[in-house]
A and B are shown apart, each in its own frame.
Chain A
Amino acid sequence: MASKYNIRVQYAAWVAVVTTGVVLVLTVVHLRRLAHDQEQALRLFAQQEAKSVARAIAAPVARGDTKELVLAAAEAVGTDVLHLRVLNARGEELFRSPQVRDASELLMVAEPVLTAGQEVGKVELGMGRGRVEQRLWSAVLWDLGLGGLLLLVFVGGSVWVARPVANSLRNLLEYVREVAKGQPREEPLDTDLEEVDAVARELKTLMQHVEEARQRMDRAQKALQAAQKEMDEYTYVISHDLKEPLRGMEAFSKFLADGYRDKLDEEGRHHIDVIRKSVLRMQRLIEDLLKFSRLSQQKQPMQLVGMNTVLLHVRVRLQHALDAKRADLRVDKLPSVVCDETAMTEVFHNLISNAIKYNDKPLPVIEVGCSETINPDTSQPEYEFFVRDNGIGIKKEYFDKIFQIFQRLHHGEEGTGIGLTIVRRVIEWHGGRVWLESEEGKGTTFYFTLPKRDVPKSSTTFYTTSLSEKGTLRIETPV
C-alpha cells in the first residue's frame, strides 16, 4: 500500500470499504429475493381475487347480463385490483374497466368463469404493484440503515483496535528520536504492545553497540594521532642528529677544498666538488625534513586569519622570484578562515612558488581565488581555494606522486620535493582536501578546501599580526 496515512485512518478506510461492499452485496441479494417472494405472493393473491370475481359474476355472464355483471364484480374486487376485463365464451368482451395504468406495470392473471362445471366466459384481472413496491422500498431503507449502523460500528471498532498500536508506535517514535539525539531515557520503554517494547530494547542494545564502536574508533584515532606525533617527533630528532655529522662533513670538506686544492690533481679536485655538492643536497633535504616535522610539531592554535593578509606575506616573500620571471600574481578577495596562520602561509608559499618555478611562458600569470561550497560527504559548508597558473602543466599519471615526500618531476632544479607534501599535510590536518587539474603545456590549478569553522572562543590570539599596504612592515602588538 503506497499511501502514507497513520494506522487508524488506514484501518478505518479498509474496514469502511469492505463493510460498504458487503452491505451493498447483501442488500442487493436480499432485495432480489424479497422482490421474487413478493411477486409470488401477489400472483397468488391476484389468482384468488380473480377466482372470487369469477364466482361472483358466473351467473350474470351466463345470462349475458352486463349490468348485473358490473354490480357483482364491483362488490367482489378488492382495492388493489386496477384492471378488470370480462369475456363471454365466444371471446367477446362483456366488460372492461377504464385504462388507468400501463398494463406492463400491472400483474395480470386470467381465470375461467364456470357455471356448473361449464366454462361460460373468462375474467382478466390486473393487480397493482403498489404494495410490493412499498414493501421493497421499506426493505431498502431497513437494509441500508442497518448497513450504515454496521459501518459505524465496524469503523469505530477498527479505530479502537488500532489505538494501542498507534499509541505504542507514537511512543516508539518519541523514544527513537531521543536515541537519535543521544539522550535516551533511563527507564525501558513501556507501551501497550509487547512487540514495540521489544523493538525499543533491541534498539537500545544496537545503540550500545554503536557507542562501543564509536569509542573503539575514538581510541584508534587517538592512537593514530599519538603515533603520528611520535613519528613527527622522531623525524625531528633524527634530522637534528643527522645535522651534527653533516656539519663536520661540510666544514672538513671545505678545509680540504680550501687548503689542499693545489696539492690535488684534477680528479681529486673533482671528487671533492662532488662531496661538497652531495653535502649541500643532504643539507637541503634535512632542512626540509625539519621544516616538515616542525610544521606539525609546533602547531599554532587555530584562529581567524584573513587570507588576503596571508597572501600579502607570501607576495613579500616571493617578490624576488616574481620579479625575476615577470610573473603576475592576481589575488581575488579572499575570506577570513579559522586556521593555523603559519601553516597556511606555508601552503600558499609552496603552491605559488611552484607556479612561478615551473612556468615557461613569457608572462606567467598566477591566480588565487576562493568560493564557498558544500562538502559532498559531510554536507558541511567549506571554502574552496584555488591557485591557478599558466605553466608547464603536470601529466595525469603524476597527480598522486607529486604529493609524496621527496618526489620530484624535474631534475636539475633546486628544491627537494617536499613543498606539496607539506601542502597536503597541512590541509589534511585542517580537515580539508587537496587536488589538482592540469593540462600539459597549458597550466595547472591546485584546489584545496578548508572547513568553515566557528571562531574559537578560548584561544583569543596573543598577537595581532598586520602588514602595511606595501607589505614591508610587520607589526606584532601584544593585545
Chain B
Amino acid sequence: MVEDNPADVEITLEAFRRNRGTARVSVCRDGEEALDFLLHRGRYLLGLNAPRPDMILLDLNLPKRSGFEILEQIKQHDLLREIPVIVLTTSDRDEDVRRCYRSGANNYLTKPVRFDDCVKLVATIQQYWLELSKLPPR
C-alpha cells in the first residue's frame, strides 16, 4: 500500500482486520519509498524486508513523487508491470480516472468517507482480487 496519510493507513488496515483478512500489507509513505521498495533500492537494498507484492494499492496524492509517476514507472518496468495496481484515492475527477487507466492501472476506486463503506470496499477487494482473480505467478 502506498499511502502517506497515517490515518488512512490505519483505516485501511483496520478494514482489512475487520474482514479477517490474511493478506500481509507493507506500507510505503511516499512515492520515492514505493519505488525503492519495488526496485530494492535505498533502505530496501537487500530486499529482505521488501517482498514482491501480489497487488499494489496506490494513492494518487503523495509527497515527493505523485501516484501517477509511480504508476507509470511500474507499468513501464519489465518485471513489475504484471503486478495489478489498484488506485485508491479521494479524487473522482474524470481526467484522473482516465489518466490512470491509460497509464495501465488495473482498477480505480475512490475512498469512501464512511468507515462502514470502507470495510465493504476492502471486503470486495479481498474477494475479487485476492480470492477470485488469478494473479501472475511469482
Contact = CB atoms under 8 A, between A and B. Distances in A.
Interface in A256-296: 283, 286-287
A247 B11 contact: yes
Nearest to A244: B90
Which residue, B11, B14, B91, has most C-beta atoms of chain A within 10 A? B11
Given A247-B112, A248-B7, A255-B14, 6 more contacts: A243-B90, A243-B111, A245-B7, A247-B90, A251-B14, A254-B116
A251 B7 contact: yes
B55 to A, nearest CB: 22
B30 to A, nearest CB: 16
B132 interface: no
Nearest to B117: A250
Nearest to A287: B113
Interface in B70-99: 90-91, 93-94
A247 B116 CA distance: 11
Contacts of A287: 113
Given A240-B90, A255-B14, A246 B8 contact: no
Nearest to A253: B115
B131 to A, nearest CB: 25
A283 B8 contact: no
B114 interface: yes
A252 interface: yes
20 contacts: A240-B90, A240-B91, A243-B90, A243-B113, A244-B90, A245-B7, A247-B90, A247-B112, A247-B113, A247-B115, A248-B8, A248-B11, A250-B115, A251-B7, A251-B14, A251-B118, A254-B115, A254-B116, A283-B114, A286-B113
Top 4 A-B pairs, shortest CB-CB distance: A248-B7, A251-B115, A251-B11, A254-B115
A250 B90 CA distance: 15
Contact of A250 (B5, B94, B113): B113
A458 interface: no
A298 interface: yes
Contacts of B94: 298
B14 to A, nearest CB: 7
Contacts of B91: 240
Nearest to B89: A240
Contacts of B115: 247, 250-251, 254-255
A197 to B, nearest CB: 58
A118 to B, nearest CB: 145
Contacts of A246: 113
Contacts of B14: 251, 255
Contacts of B8: 244, 247-248
A245 B116 CA distance: 16
A252 B10 CA distance: 9
Interface in A224-257: 236, 240, 243-248, 250-252, 254-255
A254 B15 CA distance: 12
Contacts of A244: 5, 8, 90
A283 B113 contact: yes
A254 B90 CA distance: 20
Nearest to A298: B94
Nearest to A297: B93
Which residue, A252, A283, A287, has most C-beta atoms of chain B within 10 A? A252
Interface in B1-43: 5, 7-8, 10-11, 14
Contacts of A250: 113-115
Contacts of B11: 247-248, 251
Contacts of B10: 251
A298 B116 CA distance: 29
B126 to A, nearest CB: 18
Contacts of A248: 5, 7-8, 11
Nearest to A282: B113
Nearest to B115: A251
Interface in B101-138: 111-116, 118
B41 to A, nearest CB: 29
Nearest to A258: B115
Contacts of A286: 113
Contacts of A251: 7, 10-11, 14, 115, 118
B7 A252 contact: yes
B112 to A, nearest CB: 8
Contacts of A236: 93
Nearest to A280: B114
A342 to B, nearest CB: 12
Nearest to A283: B113
Nearest to B112: A247
Contacts of A252: 7
Interface string A13-54: 000000000000000000000000000000000000000000
Nearest to A284: B113
Nearest to B116: A254
Interface in A112-134: none
A302 to B, nearest CB: 18
A29 B90 CA distance: 108
A236 B92 CA distance: 10
Nearest to A247: B113
A255 B91 CA distance: 25
A256 to B, nearest CB: 11
Contacts of B112: 247
A139 B10 CA distance: 128
Contacts of A240: 90-91
B132 to A, nearest CB: 27
A287 B112 CA distance: 11
A254 B114 CA distance: 9
A246 B14 CA distance: 17
A248 B5 CA distance: 9
Nearest to B110: A243
